[in-house]
Amino acid sequence: MAILDVLIHPNPKLRKISKKINKIDDEMLQFLDNLTETMYEKDGVGLAAPQVGVLKRVVVIDISDPETESRNPIIFINPEILKSAGSVIIEEGCLSVPKIYEEVERFEKVTVKAYDKNMKEFTIDANEMLSVAIQHEIDHLNGKLFIDKLSSLKYSRITQKMIKYKKKLEDKKKKKNVKKKKRR
């Protein structure tokens, strides 16, 4: 298993429409394991393939509480919202927009159709946390981020913050590489 690099906003890959998956081969199964492991490593409740640069319609979600419950990852391949109802405002975060938490409005309940690892179709009636997580992750497959729902002022402030954050990360990496060279 491997931990994958999570892309950080702004990144053009986060804005692309992901493609449907037609078959699950060994390579895809390995990828799904890596995607799931990466979500846990980064303490996320969900992760979509495009967030690690893979433009395919698959997401993993686990809303169980790590302190009191055992892991329960659900993989959604080619997820589609069939029905939606009501509205809720919940604070959201995203591994591609680290350390930013903002309230956004979502449907309260959704019925989702998707395929599992065996390409078996299933449907889930989700509400509250799971419903919001599903909507957030499906948005990723369509090139959308939760911060798109904020005012344009907030959006641009967050984007500037992320640009600075990414620069800091890159500088850190460069410093590490210099140290490595010196060691040799």
Residues that bind Ni ion (CB under 5 A): 94
The 3-class secondary structure across 92-105, one letter per residue, is: EEECCEEEEEEEEE
Residue with CB nearest Ni ion?
Answer: 94
Pair 51, 7: CB distance under 8 Å: yes
Q: How far is the CB of 46 from Ni ion (least distance, A)?
A: 6
Looking at beta carbons only, is 61 or 77 nearer to Ni ion?
A: 61
Q: Which of 27, 80, 103, 137 is catalytic?
A: 137
Q: How far is the CB of 51 from Ni ion (least distance, A)?
A: 6
**What are the φ/ψ torsions at residue 114 (nearest 5 degrees)?**
-155, 180
Q: Is 137 known to be catalytic?
A: yes
Looking at beta carbons only, is 98 or 108 nearer to Ni ion?
A: 98
Rounded to 10 degrees, the C-alpha dihedral 30/33/34/38 comes to 170
Question: At 109, is the secondary structure helix, strand, or coil?
Answer: strand
Q: Is the dihedral of CA 127, 105, 100, 55 positive or negative?
A: positive
Q: How far is the CB of 114 from Ni ion (least distance, A)?
A: 17
Looking at beta carbons only, is 94 or 132 nearer to Ni ion?
A: 94
Q: Please identify every residue annotated as catalytic.
A: 137
